């Protein structure tokens, strides 16, 4: 997982409430065993028509939002089933930051585990960001994780809250495996003590 300190990118607007994980990545695409390759199926039922062509009415298919890495959406994003494939798909598509009013708890946690920064803002702050995107589609926002700020070309600047533990994980690029490896010396010491105290448990068959 790559460290996250600050990010500048095009902000795409998906102005919808209660976007669930089955809409983010439909269940028929969950058979892959890798974490990659899900981006092409992101929002599949909305992005594509029945004949496989792009749906021109879907927000993210707009030319101005191509290459966007910041997703601005609304309340209760990531609700529904607890599939970790949802942040995998968002990340694989290119999104590094999500800005919403609120998130489903499991989805929120899974974002941090996969290097995505989910920012929560109040309804009024979120509305101002949406209005700036609508007025200037393709606009780039600046995200500063160290100082916990989001800034826009129109001069908007908002602070966001994040737990220190999660902030450090993103800043250092620590996924669950990397966190475990940081404790490797303690694990080795524990195993050595166990082998000494209970040698019969460690005998090979």
177 has a pLDDT exceeding 70: no
What is the tens place of the pLDDT at every residue in 85-97? Answer: 999 999 999 999 9
Instruction: Reduce the DSSP state of residue 9 to 3 states and report it.
Output: strand
- Predicted local confidence at residue 199, as pLDDT: 79
* Residue 199 belongs to a domain: no
* Residue 191 belongs to a domain: no
What is the tens place of the pLDDT at every residue in 117-157? Answer: 999 999 999 999 999 999 999 999 999 999 999 999 999 99
Residue numbers of the domain that contains 18: 6-174
Which pTM was predicted?
Answer: 0.86
* Residue 169 belongs to a domain: yes
- Predicted local confidence at residue 189, as pLDDT: 63
Handedness of CA 152, 157, 162, 168 (dihedral sign): positive
Average pLDDT over residues 154-161: 97
What is the tens place of the pLDDT at every residue in 23-36? Answer: 999 999 988 778 88
Burial of 165 (0-12, 13-18, 19+ CB in 10 A): exposed
Using CA atoms, how far apart are residues 114 and 11, in angstroms rounded to an integer? Answer: 20
* Residue 180 belongs to a domain: no
- Predicted local confidence at residue 183, as pLDDT: 56
Using CA atoms, how far apart are residues 192 and 107, in angstroms rounded to an integer? Answer: 38
CA-wise closest residue to 121 among 98, 142, 105: 98
Percent of the chain with pLDDT over 90: 76
* Residue 17 belongs to a domain: yes
Domains contained in the chain, number: 1
- Predicted local confidence at residue 182, as pLDDT: 56
* Residue 192 belongs to a domain: no
Averaged pLDDT of the chain: 91
Percent of the chain with pLDDT over 70: 91
Task: Please report, for the domain that includes residue 51, its CATH number.
Answer: 3.20.19.10
What is the tens place of the pLDDT at every residue in 58-113? Answer: 999 999 999 999 999 999 999 998 889 999 999 999 999 999 999 999 999 999 99
* Residue 187 belongs to a domain: no
* Residue 58 belongs to a domain: yes
Handedness of CA 163, 101, 29, 44 (dihedral sign): negative
């Amino acid at each position: 997982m790559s460290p996250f300190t600050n990010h500048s990118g095009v902000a795409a607007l998906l102005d919808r409430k209660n976007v669930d994980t089955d809409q983010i990545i439909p269940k028929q695409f969950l058979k892959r065993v890798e974490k990659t390759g899900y981006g092409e199926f992101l929002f599949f039922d909305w992005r594509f028509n029945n004949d496989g062509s792009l749906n021109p009415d879907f927000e993210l298919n707009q030319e101005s939002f191509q290459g966007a890495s910041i997703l601005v959406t609304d309340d209760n994003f990531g609700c529904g089933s607890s599939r970790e494939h949802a942040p995998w798909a968002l990340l694989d598509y290119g999104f590094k930051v999500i800005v919403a009013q609120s998130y489903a708890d499991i989805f929120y946690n899974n974002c941090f585990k996969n290097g995505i920064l989910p920012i929560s803002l109040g309804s009024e702050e979120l509305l101002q960001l949406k209005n700036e995107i609508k007025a200037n589609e393709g606009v780039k926002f600046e995200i500063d994780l160290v100082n916990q700020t989001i800034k826009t070309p129109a001069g908007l600047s908002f602070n966001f809250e994040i737990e220190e533990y999660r902030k450090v994980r993103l800043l250092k690029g620590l996924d669950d495996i990397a966190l475990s490896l940081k404790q490797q010396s303690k694990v080795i010491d524990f195993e050595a003590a166990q082998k000494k105290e209970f040698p019969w448990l460690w005998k090979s068959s």
